[in-house]
Chains A and B, each alone.
Chain A
Amino acid sequence: MSSTVKIPVPTLNKEISVSTGLFINNEFVPSVDSAEVIQCFNPATEQVIANVVAGSSKDIDVAVAAARLAFRTTWGKNVTGWERSRLMNKLADLIERDKQELAELETLNNGKPVAVARDFDIGDSIQCLRYYAGWADKITGQTIEVDNKSKMAFTRHEPIGVCGQIIPWNYPINMWAWKVAPALAVGCTIVMKPSEITPLTALKLSELVVEAGFPPGVINTVPSLGSVGGAALAAHTDVDKIAFTGSTITGRKIMEAAAKSNLKKVSLELGGKSPQLIFESADLQQAAAWAALGICYNTGQDCTAGSRVYVQDSVYDKFIDVLVSTVKEIVIGDGFDNKTGGGPLISKAQFDRVWGYIDAGKAEGAKVVLGGERRNTKGYFVDPTIFTDVDSNMKIVKEEIFGPVLSIGRFKTEEEAVALANNTTYGLGAGLHSTDASQCMRVSGLLEAGTVWVNQYNILSNNVPFGGKKQSGIGRELGSYALEEYTSVKAVHWNIGEKLQWPLSF
């Protein structure tokens, strides 16, 4: 089966067409050996909206072979940085042209509000592609002085090769851009496995890849189950590097498979249980707004979700009041409704998981100060839920929930705050709110996280690196740093004058 479906958008009285085959060598094709399909759901209605081809491990082989051939012939060192830049800019322009429709498709499959999908997710993705397009002709090595009379030493920053990229369902288009852009900029070819829950926008973007003029095989898209396609990529002996964003549990499997196969390079963006510290000198209104954003954005389905908040004793009661009334203002609803600030959770499985944590929180004795009540409607909607009176041993405090569920604790001293914040195996993000500059400097230095926000939360920028410490990940995305993840350094020692005397004399 390889065809096009027309997905109805009921509230807008239109249809969006999506090719449902595997995208390999610039064509949409059926699986070579399987009739399996992946059902795509609308999480607001719980309805199936499309079926797409489910790639098998043989399909991964075909895609990898296509990517390898492109790397050897039309991409890699066979294409100049200027040409890569031109194509990437063209792709960005096409995404911009089609951003409304892409946003609607994203909302249908993921549930987030259309305006957020269009202006934030897609807006940032366009900017991300343009940012990396600007790097493509600026990949420089070094010349290094060794001995002027006899040696010319220099480095070449070469593309690693064929890259497997596995992306999650929480920001399908944005995560696609974060992965694709730096890889293309330095000349790598890609086999992309979008999440089996949200493959539709990746397939739609593949049409634009063709229209932009990329040679066949440079970008390949293979929707597949993680345990099938993802595992195949991680274990493939002809894939030079694997980049994964998703859960820490799966991240371990990827790294293990990489180690056991061909020691391919690995970069991982994993989970988090990121803390925000509210110090007594903080602007409480602002801090509450940032804390609300931290747990409600994307309905809490964010690897950097600020899911633990610790408040200094002296301002605790006041802050709780402000925070609860702030969080109450967000409307969780259908993504096609203008009033909606956050959509449903992505799937039944996630819905059940999050409820499992809420129930556990109650069972372990935490106090619910907001939410915690099920709706009796269709759709995987969960309202923001805030727990207080928590302790460090509770599941809701230790484990990543990936929903709009916040745990609030308290502290007396700065030392205590930092200790509470760092008491986790994760280390992705952290926030601190204080108007004492020395405190901001000290605490930001002590927090064990790849991104520390001072008097802010969640706001990222395409040119500032992002990634995890500890078990939140390996490597960095965004900024110039992401280029290193896709670059392999070759040192060249060019003898311009030395004659070797053999045998050596000492």
Chain B
Amino acid sequence: MASVFTHEFNTPIYKGKTSFNTGLYINGKFVEGSDKTTIDVVNPATGKVVTKVAEATSKDVDIAVAAAHKAFETTWGLNMGGAGRSRLLAKLAQLMEEHQQELAALEALDNGKTFTWAMDLDTTFAIDTIRYYAGWADKIHGQVQETDEKKLSYTRHEPIGVVGQIIPWNFPLLMMSWKLGPALATGNCIIMKPSEFTPLTAIRMCELIHEAGFPPGTFNLLTGYGHTVGAAISGHMKIDKVAFTGSTLVGRKIMEAAAKSNLKDITLELGGKSPNIIFDDADLDQAVNWAAHGIYWNHGQACCAGSRIFVQSGIYDDFLAKFTEKTRSLKVGDPFDVDSYQGPQVSKIQYDRIMDYIQSGKDQGATVHLGGDRNGTEGFYINPTIFTDTTPDMKIVQEEIFGPVGVVIKFEDDEDVIRQANDTVFGLAAAVFSQNINRALNTAHRLKAGTAWVNCVNQLHSNVPFGGFKQSGIGRELGEYALHNYTAIKSVQVNLGHIM
């Protein structure tokens, strides 16, 4: 029998209670994993275990896939019209809104981001995203193509079928909504694997999905490890598509497994080492503020983080001084303190990785301009860090750190900075700061990135597509574009008079 997680939040910023079933959610029911094993959920602010949740294995994936196919053939897919799917998604958004504080608190507890960020950004944007896709559900149009009057030729944009979705730990609820919204709006059934580090909000959502009235089997949640559940999903012969957000390393494995199994369709949102280019004629104060947001948002745990900050020589000294001061002002503290800006990193593994990168920076001769050390003695806190005096071949300049570590690089020449910015296997995002609109737009257009921000960084909207060039990914999320990821185009040609 699956167990229940009950927790009382008694913090300066939020007081409330949560209590929910922590089993796997398969075919409309909460169940234990087939092997009856569990996964510990750790609070990164303390390093201590807060609860255990059921662990899924590949057997559970098989059970869920069968349930999903049954639902797809009977109660979901095209058996439920767009208006019906729209209503259910709208209901889910409403339920999320009613439980928004609870979801934000769970997110802060599980992931370490501050309650304030979880409220103002993660949960708000997640609700927006579900609402946005609720509106698309009854607007999935195909085309009619004119051939001649003896033929009716048209396309159907059909749901693919049963889709696997593997989501990361950096924005657990938000990434869940980005995946769930377009997939359900278009009529697919889902097998979702949340990150084993941050399963709580995804599990909590299952009760809301159930309450909203989604038929059993349309959405299934299997908490488990990448090498078991993730591998089972990407290699499954009866899953028709897999969508993954996470590291480029794992993305390769997913794509390989998809190729080796049933050539399932894939979309990947992977890593980045996004450049933030600040020209001489930038609004300096604004550039400083945005650059800080670019790297320190979510403790640097954002795929699109502006982690390479290129500053033109004319303003370099001023920028560095102001940027340092700004960074110093960011308060690192408990996620439930009223004025915390940055909480702990998500896990010991991530903490160690980031500290290793910081060490490599020191070892390779870069200057630690600020930070570079642990904050406090409990939990996985790292002080916002600035490196200067780097060379392009350094690990901290080439590789994705995924922590609050910014690299500030001086440049002279427009052409050279564009070349340096593009000199990476990644291509997720980029930012340009300049008050000269022609310079800004021309630069933005030449940067090889899926999102180019001009005079801003890390701005996302439910209706604007997001995704990577090069090894940062395949496909686009958000906006109308995400619908393409979950529809299969069928051309129907009806002969109404041609004699053979």
Contacts and interface: CB of A to CB of B under 8 A. Distances in A.
Interface of A: 81-82, 85, 89, 127, 130-131, 133-138, 140, 148, 152, 437-438, 440-442, 445, 463, 480, 494-497
B64 to A, nearest CB: 30
A497 B138 contact: no
A441 B135 contact: no
Contacts of A135: 135, 139
Given A82-B132, A130-B90, A133-B135, 13 more contacts: A130-B83, A130-B86, A137-B132, A138-B135, A152-B441, A441-B149, A441-B494, A441-B496, A463-B82, A463-B138, A463-B139, A480-B141, A496-B442
B135 A496 contact: no
Contacts, number: 68
21 contacts: A85-B135, A89-B90, A130-B83, A131-B138, A133-B135, A134-B134, A137-B135, A137-B463, A138-B132, A138-B139, A138-B463, A152-B441, A441-B150, A441-B496, A441-B497, A463-B138, A480-B141, A494-B441, A496-B438, A496-B441, A497-B438
B437 interface: yes
B400 interface: no
Interface centre among A440, A445, A463, by most B CB within 10 Å? A463
B463 to A, nearest CB: 6
A260 B131 CA distance: 44
A48 B3 CA distance: 66
Contacts of A131: 83, 138
Q: At the interface, is chain B mostly helix, strand, loop or mixed?
A: helix
A107 to B, nearest CB: 26
Nearest to A130: B86
B265 interface: no
Contacts of A438: 150, 496-497
A441 B442 contact: no
B136 A134 contact: yes
Contacts of B150: 438, 441
A445 B463 contact: no
B445 A148 contact: yes
B280 interface: no
B196 interface: no
A189 B122 CA distance: 33
B438 A480 contact: no
Contact of A140 (B83, B149, B437, B480): B480
Nearest to B151: A441
A442 B149 contact: yes
A441 B493 CA distance: 13
Closest 7 CB pairs of A and B: A134-B135, A441-B496, A438-B496, A496-B438, A438-B497, A496-B441, A445-B149
B497 A442 contact: yes
Contacts of B128: 82
A435 to B, nearest CB: 13
A463 B441 CA distance: 38
Interface centre among A82, A134, A136, A441, by most B CB within 10 Å? A134
B338 interface: no
B431 to A, nearest CB: 18
A152 B438 CA distance: 10
B83 A127 contact: yes
Contacts of A136: 135
A333 B411 CA distance: 84
Contact of A497 (B134, B442, B494, B496): B442
A135 B149 CA distance: 33
A413 B132 CA distance: 51
A184 to B, nearest CB: 14
B126 to A, nearest CB: 14
B179 to A, nearest CB: 19
Contacts of B494: 437, 441
B86 A138 contact: no
B131 A85 contact: yes
Contacts of B497: 438, 441-442
A441 B150 CA distance: 8
A189 B437 CA distance: 34
Contacts of B134: 134
A445 B150 CA distance: 10
Given A85-B131, A127-B83, A496-B441, A138 B496 contact: no
Contacts of A497: 438, 442
B4 interface: no
Contacts of A463: 82, 138-139
B445 to A, nearest CB: 7
